[in-house]
Amino acid sequence: MSNKSNEILVAVAGQPNSGKSTIFNCLTGARQFVANYPGITVEKKTGIYYYKGDKVVIVDLPGTYSLTSYSLEERIARDFLLHENPALILDIVDASNLERNLYLTFQLLEMDIPLVIALNMKDVAQRRGLKIDTDKLSRQLGTAVVPTIANKGKGKEELRQAIWETYKNINYNHIPFCINYGKTLEPILTSLEKQLSENPNLSKSYSTRWLAVKLLGNDREAQKLVAEYSATSKIEGE
């Protein structure tokens, strides 16, 4: 573990109404900057804080239910994750609507970018009689899960610690998250992954598993991405 000061880029993702902006404000306080994403009028909120000598730069992505490319918000969030190389993702999950929120979480995990989950609105979940075993959830997802009540500032320091520890341990014992899609789809996905991995530039830049899943879903942006890298490889090989 190095003593060198780092700048850690964190992308904050989450579904609408999960408390994403509240957690962003809680972590960054007054150190916030607002601009627009290039070429469009959608706001890009950036904030910073310092932790154990490191500068943490947080970008609040638009709220989105998934990482398809159908809406402008989805495209912005996905393009940032694909092309801006965040060190990790802070995924804000509404504990009172866990099943619905995990739909986005699974897509984020498949991108193979280190992830920390803020299990927000724990108090709302408890009032509804919901009990969540955070340790078990953490083991099953292979990522840190931190209970938070953002509007009361609860869990802020634990979240900062989890982000920092995840960043420091990125290169240790990393096991890619993998959903088993069943006997029918898995052989197809495995074949697609193998073909994608044969392009070293593509496989070095993106998760081949994530791309295979998207291609199987006829995702146009994923198709475009693969086509661009295939064309580049042909030119380099000439």
Percent of the chain with pLDDT over 70: 94
Query: Is a pLDDT exceeding 60 seen at residue 20?
Result: yes
Domain contains 97: yes
pLDDT in tens, 154-212: 999 999 999 999 999 887 666 778 889 999 999 999 999 999 999 998 988 899 999 99
pLDDT confidence of residue 238? 43
pLDDT in tens, 31-54: 899 999 888 888 899 999 999 999
Q: Is the dihedral of CA 36, 37, 38, 42 positive or negative?
A: negative
Whether residues 115 and 199 fall in one domain:
no
Whether residues 135 and 228 fall in one domain:
no
Whether residues 25 and 112 fall in one domain:
yes
Domain contains 44: yes
The least confident of 74-78, 148-152, 234-238 is 234-238
Whether residues 32 and 77 fall in one domain:
yes
Give the range of the structural domain holding residue 212, as residue numbers without chain letter.
Answer: 182-237
Whether residues 98 and 200 fall in one domain:
no
If you count them, how many residues does the chain have?
A: 238
Domain contains 2: no
Domain contains 174: no
Confidence of residue 1 (pLDDT cuts 50, 70, 90): very low
- Domain end, chosen from 137, 168, 199, is at 168
Domain contains 95: yes
Whether residues 103 and 152 fall in one domain:
yes
The CATH code of the domain that includes 13 is 3.40.50.300
User: Structure pTM?
Assistant: 0.89
Query: Is a pLDDT exceeding 60 seen at residue 237?
Result: no
pLDDT confidence of residue 233? 55
Count of domains forming the chain: 2
Query: Is a pLDDT exceeding 90 seen at residue 127?
Result: yes
pLDDT confidence of residue 85? 92
Whether residues 190 and 102 fall in one domain:
no
Whether residues 154 and 213 fall in one domain:
no
pLDDT confidence of residue 40? 86
- Domain end, chosen from 112, 141, 168, is at 168
Query: For the chain, what is the mean pLDDT?
Result: 90
Average pLDDT over residues 71-89: 92
